Amino acid sequence: MSHDLRAPLRAIEGYGRILVDDHARSLDAEGHRVLDVIRENARQMGRLIARGAGRRRELRARRHGYIVKPVELDNFSRAVADLGFYWLLSNEQPR
C-alpha cells in the first residue's frame, strides 16, 4: 500500500523540480516560496509513509512471534551455543 501512496508524491516532487529547473525565471519570490512548500510537504509525507510502513512490518512480525531488531552476531552465536539451542537465521523479513 505504501508504494501506491508514494508514487503520486514522487510525481509532485518531480513536477516541482521541473518547474524550478525549467521555469525558475518565470516565478516571482512568492511562486518560489509556494513551490518550495509543496515540494517539502511532498517529501515529508513520503517520510511519514515510509515510517508507517516500517511500523506495520514490525507489528506484523511481532504478531507472528518474531522479534525484529539488529543483532551482533558474535554475541548472539555465543549466547545460543551456551544455551545449547540450534537457530535458523534468515536474511528475509517474516511474512
pLDDT at position 91: 65
> How many angstroms separate the CA atoms of 16 and 28, rounded?
15
13: nearest Cα among 32, 41, 33, 34: 41
Whole-number mean pLDDT of the chain? 78
Q: Which three cell numbers stand for residue 53?
A: 510502513
Q: What is the mean pLDDT of residues 3-12?
A: 80
Digit-coded pLDDT (tens) for 43-71: 888 888 888 777 776 777 667 666 666 77
Which of 36, 51, 55, 66 is closest to 6 using CA atoms?
51
